[in-house]
Structure 1
Amino acid sequence: MEMPSNIKSILSTGESKRLEFKSGNVGMVALGATICAFLNSGGGQIFVGVRDDGTVEGGVDAKQIEKMLHPLSGGDSSVSLITPNAIWDVTEEATDDGPVVLIDVPAGADLPYLFQDSIYIRIGKQTRKATGGQTRELIQRRYLHGARWERQPVLEVKLKDLDEEEIFETVRIAANKRGWRFRDPEDLMMILEDLNLVDHGRLTNAAAVLFAREAGHIFPQAHVRLTAYASDKAASQLREDQTSRGHLFSHLKTYDAFLGRHISVISDFTATKNHREDRPQYPYWSLREGFRNALIHRDYESIHGRVSVSVYPARFEIWSYGNLPPGLSIASLKTGDRSLPVNPDIAQVVFLRGLVDLLGRGTRKIVEEFRSQGLPEPVWKKQTGGISLTLRSRATPGEIPKELNARQIALLRRMKPGDQTDLSAYAKQTEGDWSERALRNDLSKLVRLGYMAKQGQGKNTFYVRTEKPTA
């Protein structure tokens, strides 16, 4: 298997403050010290199965590495070798010379971190025990920024206000998928403590955002607005406009349902194919990853900290309020070689739920997925106080939407954007003896899918062709 270009590029740069190579026979102590050092030093990546000169040994099993790292951290701090609680991601990467294991370590938010009662940091490309002065600097750095909004207590929310079903689902997945250890998987308060969602006996803002049924009523900035437009102009008629006001996991369910209503499945017929190939208008993984990133990284402290999703016939936009953290740039989002979560407690729970597999690398995977499918490259930019992600549609001439019948396709091919028709004109142009109900349903479906915009009422109703592309 050919080595992915991004892995080849990373290995060619050599070891650095944020990159470490380890032999395949590395032990837990060496990995634990390096992970601890990265947590204390802004994050980094460890490649296991790679020699110091960047050449690949191969033959490394990610499951074995995960098993080796299991005692380091995970919920119950009384038995963890790294404290306070921390997360990292372990993935297997293919190369020309066999598999290597990549350990992605995000920047730690609760400095300093200890491994076996010692504090480690990165000095250049070396892992070293911190001196007394360096330890004081880590502590000062933590308190210089003050208490994070997500870690502050929320007085309006009690245990009874939380979605217990979602909490226990988090326990189940975190324990089975991530090996997270809970002191008592049936005690809600202890579970939340093990997830860093309780501070001095009080629920935190992060607990409310993640699990409070009425999170949007407590924090208006936790809302998500979902809008579908009839044309590619923002001022066009709305096909749907709704606001999701629940907790984070309810947003995810609402969003998936929204995608189901507004992301078309395209059927592709070409001269080289004798069968129909069905594929979504956009890669679903990228749509979900972009939305999850917006929920995790937005600025919840501001009353303006909402997330908005806008679907147009030929593009998809996700916007979230807030700036990139220091150390990240728009350009670095495409390389995804560093994780600096804005809300680490929220990010940790979403990671433990198995919804984010690649810490810091999800944005890079979005770029790779669009490139691999021949789609326009995703665009991130700073916009109106936040960060927007714009994804361009895969719809191109020659593709036929799967949802449409022959009558609807013929109508769309006769019309240009801005052309008008009505039920009577459609009936005259359609071959065959079709009932008024069938033809009316045809037009209603075209409106629902965004190919037409309905205007007027009653006998004065007519339909305008939108800019949504089709064959």
Structure 2
Amino acid sequence: MNENTIRALILEGENSWIEFKRCGNGIESDVYETVCSFSNHFGGTILCGVLDDGTIQGISEKAIASLKKNFISVISNPSMFSPTLMIEPKSVKIDGKTILCIQVPSSSEVHTYKKVIYDRVFDSDVKVTATAQIAEMYIRKQNVFTEKKVFKYATINELEPGIIEKCRNLAILKNNEHPWKNLNDEQLLKSAHLYGKDWQTGDEGMTLAGLLLLGKEDVIMSVCPTYKTDALLRRVNLDRYDDRITIYKNLVESYDLLMQFAQKHLPDKFFMEGIQTVSLRDKIVREMVSNILMHREFSSAYVSKFIIEKEQIYTENPCRAQNHIEITPEHFTPISKNPIIARFFSNIGYADELGSGTRNLFKYSQLYSGKKPVMIEDTMFTLSVPLDENYSADYQINVPTPKNTRSDISEREQKIIAIMKETPDITAVQIASELGVSSRTIENAIKNLREKRYIERQGATKDGRWIVIK
């Protein structure tokens, strides 16, 4: 790494892959925490001898050799790092001052430092303790596809009645000579790799891809308990929502419901493409919806979301990311996270070939609002499509303003009651997260509501539910 490259990194400032360390008294423990987090995330560069504001302070020339030796000794010590690492720091002179440059590659394994797992979140090194987060990190490191998991006892009876015929007709509508045209249901499932064999165990059955694409709701919730997709409209009530649907249905039916939600709440614009009139809204939403359904990591506990706001349409979905990157038509390598599901969506016309979605979004978004979309690939894939600045003025919805009918409780406590009505099994911690306040604040509010007999708790703390009395 040369002087010009390091200057460019310093100008960029600290972020997910750049960290500055003073190292005035040697290499401190927080340097190794960053090494661990970069290894577990997408890699990064640590510049020792640089202050947080980017000022180059430098390190004593006499200390450089011992610092390098101590660093290598720590990262190769199995009692400190597990698994151990092989990284060699490089010293570089800038403006007459020596700094130590540590380039940390992304590892194929999950590492611990002093028996603690660290991950990189923006410009911070975060301890990872939750089981779901740790599992997600291991999945991110594995070159496997969750969708291929075989369920030995799952058969065609676990699928939604009539859905195979629906998909066959969609495929024929797209291509009148489609191979599915002459296949029976069982042959179609095997042809689409929705029914397969686990070559390690010899088990045969429906794959997770098949159940997610076509399965009954109760079957999906059994094999994938955290699966759901939220669609939210936030234009008047910015704290919560003006309209919402929570979808637990299979991916094919989810696609239809999300498209309907968008058509209900977004204005349309039309564009002449050749000799055809094209709905820009439907073109954009199709790409956004198919993305959050096809490319999500289904083992993750995070929920996929489709959100319409005043100034943007926004989606997020858990992702088995290859790196941290902003995706543009000029700067991306299309990699399918769930190739079986993606191929099925392409067959029935719900998506196009891999990579075309990005090009379409940039093309149609600029025609729709005059602005470019923003796509960030990370463990949570986010996509934002700006809306026309006249959208708020031209497309109003009629949402009644909530009235304070309970004069003896606060507005926040009324929101808590509304949340409990909609989600009776919600926890205080989850309510705190949704409202953006501390858990202690919510616990005090719940105590007040119980004392005033607005709510009561039915069942145990973990397995119970809230009852709204009045």
Q: TM-score, normalised by structure 1?
A: 0.47
Higher relative contact order (CA 8 A, sep 6+): 1
TM-score in terms of structure 2 length: 0.47
